[in-house]
């Protein structure tokens, strides 16, 4: 498949005039201060903030394919303050002060992405319209309301407010809405325009970006490829789902697939009913995650989980597509928006995201080896990569003797170590049982009209 076929978003950047031609690969050995492995948003934000802070640093990014090839160029475009561990769980684990600092940092990050995109003239359709968590059954309504009340009890760090059925219907014309929780801390954007634009900006700031240059292994002081080795005091692993393919890290995350569909640009008559006029993103309170946005060119882009985990943490182009999941997504979107027809759908794609064993994203740098990492964002990485990039800047500068501790390096996700996943076949059995349980939980709630017992039992495994 050509890179253009990776997602609606890549199709659009090709239309914008981006040839999607790989940059030069690494050819021989190279000396650098910081070597970043992975040219997605984690890697490129790290390069960006380092180059901005210290233009004299020699920074290399090694990318296996082309910038944005991974989840960063294929995602749902929710630049949200979501963190895969809930605020309540962060409070229980780290105490209120650290948890609220983390939450505030995430909220600020949503704005930061928009500010940098504007300052660097990256036209990525950023629009901060918040997120609607729709409730379409009484069980979902109770869960959403409880979420708002829990947030209020903590001083509203997640910014959630409750919208009545009438108030929700003023924002989005979804069938059968009983109310919604709303947070302003999310922007919709076009992710490939962001990541491809960022790659151009970091190159303009003097970063050496080598594409089609997969690192075979990462070691203290060096990243080794088949065509050369980059020597650097700091080596950053920014490979998210592909971390599971690297020697020494195979059980750090599992690659789990999220799949998406999109429609053609829909006419004004559709949007007169469907709303979403301020760029609000939307989901509902079901357990098997779904997510959607109205794009800048008036399409619906909509995704969800449900694709299986593949034995041995396999990542392959064939896994990006599942006709069964695409059909389910189209059906779900048409249930939400009955004005859509079968013929409105134009694109379908998918990609792998990285899930750590405890669903706890992390960033860190081991001072003894100079090896740094960030990831395990589950499905909430689009904004979090930016916070990771700024944090890796501070950690790297400290490692190079050019900086000290900052308010970012003391956030509670820094240096968190997730446990390893089980070896196969336990991993395959466990992850797929968990995915199945989430669909079962939704069916259970539809039948019983009570909160799912399955979901409650699994909640501690999912960081809730
Ligand atoms: C379909 C889908 C929808 C999503 N929707 C959302 C959303 O709406 N909001 C949200 O917050 N998050 C979402 N996510 C998650 C989000 O996209 C990711 O968390 C985020 O993009 C991770 O960025 P990254 O740079 O860490 O990883 P990636 O973007 O995956 O980049 C990793 C890069 O490393 C490269 N690489 C791998 N191995 C090597 C190697 N050995 N050497 C060199 N390079 C290597 C890969 O080619 C890739 O380019 C979604 C993910 C998917 C798949």
260 CB near ligand 1 (under 6 Å): yes
303 CB near ligand 1 (under 6 Å): yes
Residues comprising the chain, all counted: 464
210 CB near ligand 1 (under 6 Å): no
Closest atom of ligand 1 to 41 CA is 25
Closest atom of ligand 1 to 375 CA is 26
- Pocket-testing residue among 43, 44, 71, ligand 1, by greatest number of atoms within 8 A of Cβ: 71
354 CB near ligand 1 (under 6 Å): no
The residue whose CA has the least distance to atom 33 of ligand 1 is 38
Closest atom of ligand 1 to 243 CA is 38
- What is the 3-class SS of the chain, one letter each residue? CCHHHHCHHHHHHHHHCCCCCCCCCCCCCEEEEEEEECCCHHHHHHHHHHHHHCCCCCEEEECCCCCCCCHHHCCCCEEECCCCCCHHHHHHHHCHHHHHHHHHHHHHHHHHHHHHHHHCCCCCCCECCCEEEEECCHHHHHHHHHHHHHHHHCCCCCCCEEEEHHHHHHHECCCCCCEEEEECCEEECCHHHHHHHHHHHHHHCCCEEECCCCEEEEECCEEEECCEEEEEEEEEECCHHHHHHCCCCCCCEEEEEEEEEEECCCCHHHHHHHECCCCCEEEECCCCCEEEEECCCCCEEEEECCCCCCHHHCCCHHHHCCHHHHHHHHHHHHHHCCCCCHHHEEEEEEEEEEEECCCCCEEEECCCCCEEEEECCCCCHHHHHHHHHHHHHHHHHHHCCCCCCCCCCCCCCECCCCCCCCCCCHHHHHHHHHHHHHHHHHHHHHHHCCCCHHHHHHHHHHCC
84 CB near ligand 1 (under 6 Å): no
DSSP structural state of residue 127: B
Distance 439 CA to ligand 1 centre (A): 24
129 CB near ligand 1 (under 6 Å): no
Burial pattern 277-294, b for ≥16 Cβ within 10 A else e, equals: eebbbbbbbbbbbbbbbb
- Pocket-testing residue among 381, 383, 384, 388, ligand 1, by greatest number of atoms within 8 A of Cβ: 381
CA distance 121 to 84: 30
8 CB near ligand 1 (under 6 Å): no
173 CB near ligand 1 (under 6 Å): no
- Pocket-testing residue among 240, 249, 290, 303, ligand 1, by greatest number of atoms within 8 A of Cβ: 240
For every one of its 464 residues, what pLDDT tens digit does the chain have, with 9 covering 90 and above? 689 999 999 999 999 999 999 999 999 999 999 999 999 999 999 999 999 999 999 999 999 999 999 999 999 999 999 999 999 999 999 999 999 999 999 999 999 999 999 999 999 999 999 999 999 999 999 999 999 999 999 999 999 999 999 999 999 999 899 999 999 999 999 999 999 999 999 999 999 999 999 999 999 999 999 999 999 999 999 999 999 999 999 999 999 999 999 999 999 999 999 999 999 999 998 878 899 999 999 999 999 988 888 988 899 999 999 999 999 999 999 999 999 999 999 999 999 999 999 999 999 999 999 999 999 999 999 999 999 999 999 999 999 999 999 999 999 999 999 999 999 998 888 888 888 887 787 777 777 777 877 777 766 555 44
The residue whose CA has the least distance to atom 2 of ligand 1 is 75
């Amino acid at each position: 498949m050509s890179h253009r076929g990776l997602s609606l978003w890549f199709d659009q950047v090709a239309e914008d005039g981006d040839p999607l031609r790989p940059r030069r690969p690494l050819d021989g050995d190279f000396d650098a201060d910081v070597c970043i492995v992975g040219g997605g948003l984690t890697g490129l934000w790290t390069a960006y903030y380092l180059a901005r802070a210290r233009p004299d640093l020699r920074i290399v990014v090694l990318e296996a394919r082309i910038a944005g090839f991974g989840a960063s160029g294929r995602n749902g475009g929710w630049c949200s303050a979501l963190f895969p561990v809930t605020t309540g769980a962060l409070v229980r684990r780290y105490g209120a002060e650290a948890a609220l600092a983390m939450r505030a940092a995430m909220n600020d990050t949503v704005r930061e992405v928009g500010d940098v995109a504007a300052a660097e003239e990256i036209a990525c359709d950023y629009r901060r319209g918040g997120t609607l968590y729709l409730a379409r059954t009484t069980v979902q309504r109770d869960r959403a309301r409880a979420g708002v009340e829990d947030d209020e009890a903590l001083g509203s760090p997640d910014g959630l407010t409750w919208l009545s059925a009438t108030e929700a219907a003023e924002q989005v014309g979804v069938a059968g809405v009983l109310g919604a929780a709303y947070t302003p801390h999310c922007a919709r954007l076009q992710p490939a325009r962001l990541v491809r634009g960022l790659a151009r900006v970091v190159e303009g700031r003097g970063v050496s970006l080598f594409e089609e240059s997969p690192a075979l292994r990462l070691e203290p002081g060096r990243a080794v490829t088949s065509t050369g080795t980059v020597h650097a005091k700091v080596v950053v692993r920014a490979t998210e789902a592909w971390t599971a393919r690297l020697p020494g890290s195979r059980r750090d995350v599992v690659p789990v697939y999220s799949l998406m569909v999109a429609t053609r640009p829909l006419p004004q008559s559709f949007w007169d009913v469907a709303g979403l006029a301020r760029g609000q993103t939307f989901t509902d309170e079901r357990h098997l995650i779904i997510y959607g946005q109205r794009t800048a060119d008036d399409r619906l882009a909509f995704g969800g989980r449900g694709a299986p985990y593949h034995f041995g943490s396999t990542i392959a182009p064939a896994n990006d597509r599942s006709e069964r999941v695409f059909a389910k997504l189209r059906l779900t979107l048409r249930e939400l928006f009955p004005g859509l027809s079968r013929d409105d759908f134009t694109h379908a794609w998918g990609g792998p995201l990285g899930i750590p064993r405890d669903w706890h994203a992390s960033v860190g740098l081991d001072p003894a080896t100079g090896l740094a990492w960030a990831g395990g964002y589950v499905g909430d990485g689009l904004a979090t990569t930016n916070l990771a990039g700024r944090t890796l800047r501070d950690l790297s500068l400290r490692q190079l003797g050019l900086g000290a501790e900052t308010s970012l390096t003391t956030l509670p996700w820094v240096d968190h170590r997730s446990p390893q996943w089980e070896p196969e076949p336990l991993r395959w059995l466990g992850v797929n049982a968990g995915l199945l349980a989430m669909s079962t939980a939704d069916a259970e709630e539809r039948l019983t009209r009570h909160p799912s017992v399955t979901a409650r039992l699994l909640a501690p495994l999912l960081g809730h």
